[in-house]
């Protein structure tokens, strides 16, 4: 995304809005999220008592990650201007990861609707066991991991270049790391903090984009190409 001085076009506005709205929705969803457990039977026992919150949380996470796409790609584009190969790889990995995470959120929403619509606790446990079975984890897990590898790739390109984008990339990568820790530990507070950090990074990134602060960076990269 090339940013023109004195000009804010629809692409700039969409990217800026995405950087703020997407993480805000995901942060809100995580704040709604009930407690998690590694044991599936214990998780369903919690879900049964908080099915509405569970569904609402994952609905917001699902919408939020989709809304985040234009903003994340705008940040990736800045990395691609610095390091084209790294930026291109990050773009592909992040899109793969977003697809996988969105699929997981839909699955979690489906469990919530199953309980809300009167499904039994035993059936819900079987449902969650199937969702977290080896074949499904083997299929979806690497795709989810691609998101975090992609974030690390674009963040490394921006951090190494210095300037204001370095702090955005640092906040975004730390937030993504905390979300990954939550996935493997089932401790919601990690993703709550992680999404909040990504929201802060998004707000800062939106301000930079709207103020055309990143234009000198892009110009320097092109001049050294």
Task: Locate the domains of the chain by residue range.
Answer: 10-218
Read off the pLDDT of each residue in 81-96 and give the average, rounded to a whole number: 93
Read off the pLDDT of each residue in 16-30 and give the average, rounded to a whole number: 96
The pTM (predicted TM-score) of the whole model is 0.86
pLDDT of residue 142: 95
Q: Are 145 and 61 in contact (CB under 8 A)?
A: no
Compare 178 and 215 and report the one with higher pLDDT: 178
The length of the chain in residues reads 225
Whether 216 shows a pLDDT value over 50: the answer reads no
Read off the pLDDT of each residue in 145-162 and give the average, rounded to a whole number: 89
d(CA 121, CA 115): 8
Neighbour count for residue 110 (Cβ, 10 Å): 14
Whether 223 shows a pLDDT value over 70: the answer reads no
Read off the pLDDT of each residue in 65-83 and give the average, rounded to a whole number: 91
d(CA 128, CA 48): 13
- The 10s digit of each residue's pLDDT in 99-121 is 999 999 999 999 999 988 888 88
Read off the pLDDT of each residue in 60-76 and give the average, rounded to a whole number: 95
| Range scoring the smallest mean pLDDT among 111-115, 155-159, 177-181, 209-213 | 209-213
DSSP notation for 59-104: HHHHHHHHHTHHHHHHHHHHHHHH-HHHHHHHHHHHHHHHHHHHHH
Whether 86 shows a pLDDT value over 80: the answer reads yes
| Range scoring the smallest mean pLDDT among 8-22, 97-111, 158-172 | 158-172
Q: Are 108 and 40 in contact (CB under 8 A)?
A: no
């Amino acid at each position: 995304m090339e940013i023109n001085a004195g000009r804010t076009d629809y692409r700039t506005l969409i990217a800026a809005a995405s950087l703020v709205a997407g993480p805000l929705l995901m942060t809100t969803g995580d704040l709604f999220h009930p407690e998690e457990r590694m044991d599936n039977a214990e998780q369903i026992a919690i879900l049964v008592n908080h099915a509405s919150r569970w569904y609402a949380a994952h609905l917001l996470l699902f919408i939020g990650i989709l809304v985040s796409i234009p903003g994340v790609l705008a940040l990736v584009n800045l990395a691609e201007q610095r390091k084209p190969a790294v930026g291109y790889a990050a773009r592909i990995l992040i899109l793969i990861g977003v697809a996988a995470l969105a699929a997981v959120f839909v699955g979690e929403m489906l469990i919530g609707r199953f309980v809300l619509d009167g499904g039994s606790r035993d059936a819900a446990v079987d449902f969650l066991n199937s969702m977290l079975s080896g074949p499904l984890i083997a299929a979806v897990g690497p795709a989810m991991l691609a998101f975090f590898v992609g974030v690390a790739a674009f963040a490394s390109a921006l951090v190494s270049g210095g300037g204001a984008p370095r702090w955005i990339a640092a906040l975004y990568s730390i937030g993504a790391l905390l979300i990954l820790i939550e996935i493997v530990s089932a401790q919601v507070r990690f993703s709550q903090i992680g999404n909040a950090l990504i929201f802060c990074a998004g707000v800062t990134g939106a301000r930079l984009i709207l103020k055309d602060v990143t234009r000198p960076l892009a110009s320097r990269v092109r001049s050294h190409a």
